[in-house]
Amino acid sequence: MNPGQELFGALLVALRKAYPGMVYDSFLPPEETPYPFIYLNGTYEIEDFRMKGVYFGQTAISIDVWHNDPTQRGTVDSLLFSVRQIARALDRTDNYNWCLSACTLEYMPDYTTSQPLYKGILSLEFKHYRRRNNEQL
């Protein structure tokens, strides 16, 4: 499995465990979904490179939190802080070791619906490494 998909899956499982019924991926939830909710957005990878039998790379993921009350910035911020703590605790998956290396937060109003929304975007960059296939992590 490629690193981006493995990271996405691990975070999805961890977030759904911490926030049952609030975490979505692939498609935004239906209109009647209660707010706030968490949405795992896109990922990108920087190509692996090999050095002394170990494969290194970087993977980033974007996680959004939406609220239907623009005055609830604190709620959005608290959720994003908790999501960041969950991501920080992720240090190993089946094939990779992970280290959260950068984090950015962005907050903005969202006028894509008839009701004004508030959106927070958490962008996380992870460094990862994987040993040759026949070695244990």
Consecutive sets of 10 residues in the chain, 137 residues long: mean pLDDT of each?
A: 92 98 93 94 82 86 96 95 97 93 95 91 94 55
CB-based contact 22:38 (threshold 8 Å): yes
Q: How far apart are CA 91 and CA 1, in angstroms?
A: 17
Domain 3-131 architecture: 2-Layer Sandwich (3.30)
CB-based contact 15:85 (threshold 8 Å): no
pLDDT given for residue 48 in this prediction: 73
pLDDT given for residue 135 in this prediction: 53
pLDDT given for residue 132 in this prediction: 60
pLDDT given for residue 109 in this prediction: 94
